[in-house]
Structure 1
Amino acid sequence: MGTVVEASSKEASGSSLSQKKPKVVFVLGGPGSGKGTQCANIVEHFGYTHLSAGDLLRAEIKSGSENGTMIQNMIKEGKIVPSEVTIKLLEKAILENENDKFLIDGFPRNEENRAAFESVFGDLQTGITPEFVLYFDCPQEEMEKRLLSRNQGREDDNIDTIRKRFKVFLESSLPVIEYYNSKEKVRKIDAAKPVEEVFKTVKALFTPVVDKAAA
């Protein structure tokens, strides 16, 4: 009986998403690459809604729901939260928001995330895939310098932890970037430049062709 309910629920959400046809841009970059700052700029200038996979998981935990408790227990035990759980939260956030343009920040973190996203969003009637992947490329030394200067005193941002996070990013997220690059969907940004210069490059990617011609 549960299977029928699950199937019909998936069908209903699938149908809602295909009707909405959201425009999705994935945002990836190492810790300290400045993607949070740039996402805020894109939201302000181009009216996107910023969805952070990490923030959605934290909000679910804070809500005290059964799902939130399960997520919290998994994190406590050092287990990775299943991709399906994160995707369900993303799907819910997209459907509940009136906007139809979304920046999905820090996702997909790995190949498993990517495959799960495609199996849920890609098997809809219209097939929802990212418009492109915004990749903030920044040298490790620059990211370390930024994180250490802005997070003095925070235990989770000491040099060893930062290097571990960077290593995880290289091992997990680079294969995702390579996958989308093979489909010519990656827009690589030199994130080592000053914030204003970086946004100038980002802005060009989001400005419609018509606006560019008019300018």
Structure 2
Amino acid sequence: MVLRSVFALYQQVPNILSRVAVMMKPQVVFVLGGPGAGKGTQCTKITENYSYTHLSAGDLLRGERAREGSEFGQLIDSHIKDGKIVPVEITINLLRKAMEETMKADEKKFRFLIDGFPRNEDNLQGWSRVMEDKADVKFVLFFDCSNEVCIDRCLERGQHSGRTDDNRESLQKRIQTYLQSTRPIIDQYEKQGKVRTVDASHKVDEVFADVKAILDKEG
């Protein structure tokens, strides 16, 4: 039942986005890095200084999980707790819907930071099938940070965030998922010359100075 619902949503994406494309094709920067690398923090600073809209794949999934009556809530919850990647059809549908609503509200808002996606080969292939001719991926902004720093940051964040996955057991699983599934995607984009790497181990303002230099250069 759930899989049929997912497939139905997946099939709707091309038709809906074709209508949005009449207004303006979305310009996308994928934001990738390990859990705790500071992606969300830096995306907030980018949106404060540049004309980008920040879409966090993780936040969209957590929002859908918490939405009353969501038919995918339990499925999303189990994947997040186990450190697994949610089925691509669900994630792309949520991203598509968020972009569509943003562009309908303001046609000038067509630049997006997509944070935490694509996280594996299935994500990448799903994006290519559905979005390749409907959105332009400009480059990947990669926040590079050691596993130890990432874990320490997440544990500290977990004291205040209320996130069920900010605990050591879930973090170990998330790190392994990242290394096995997401790093190869970053490597693929690197071979295409589309990765801009930032050392994310520094303080927030120092990291943002490097980010700003990249964005200013990219125009």
The answer as to whether partners of 2:31 and 2:113 remain within 8 angstroms in 1 is yes
1:139-176, Cα deviation, whole Å (9 max, x unpaired): 11222232233434877434333222211111110111
Greater Rg, structure 1 or structure 2?
1
1:91-106 maps to which residues of 2 (within 5 A)? 91-97=96-102, 98=106, 99-106=109-116
More deviation, 90-99/146-155 = 146-155
The answer as to whether partners of 2:10 and 2:90 remain within 8 angstroms in 1 is no
Aligned to 2:50: 46
Aligned to 2:5: none
Out of 60, 64, 72, the position equivalent to 1:60 is 64
Aligned to 1:90: 95
Aligned to 2:19: 16
Read off the aligned partner of 2:125 and give its amino acid letter. A
Aligned to 2:166: 157
Structure-2 separation of matches of 1:104 and 1:13: 19
Give yes or no for the alignment of 1:138 onto 2:145: yes
Structure-2 separation of matches of 1:140 and 1:88: 30
The answer as to whether partners of 2:67 and 2:73 remain within 8 angstroms in 1 is no
User: SS of the counterpart of 1:204?
Assistant: helix
Out of 26, 31, 34, the position equivalent to 1:30 is 34
User: SS of the counterpart of 1:130?
Assistant: strand
User: SS of the counterpart of 2:37?
Assistant: coil
Out of 137, 152, 155, the position equivalent to 1:148 is 155
TM-score when normalising by structure 1 = 0.82
User: SS of the counterpart of 1:157?
Assistant: coil
Out of 114, 136, 139, the position equivalent to 1:129 is 136
The answer as to whether partners of 2:26 and 2:112 remain within 8 angstroms in 1 is yes
What is the aligned residue count?
A: 200
Percent sequence identity over matched residues?
A: 45
Unaligned residue ranges in structure 1 (runs of 5+): 211-215
Give yes or no for the alignment of 1:168 onto 2:177: yes
Structure-2 separation of matches of 1:50 and 1:75: 21
The alignment yields a C-alpha RMSD, in angstroms, of 2.6
TM-score when normalising by structure 2 = 0.80
Unaligned residue ranges in structure 2 (runs of 5+): 1-7
User: SS of the counterpart of 2:43?
Assistant: helix
Structure-2 separation of matches of 1:8 and 1:53: 20
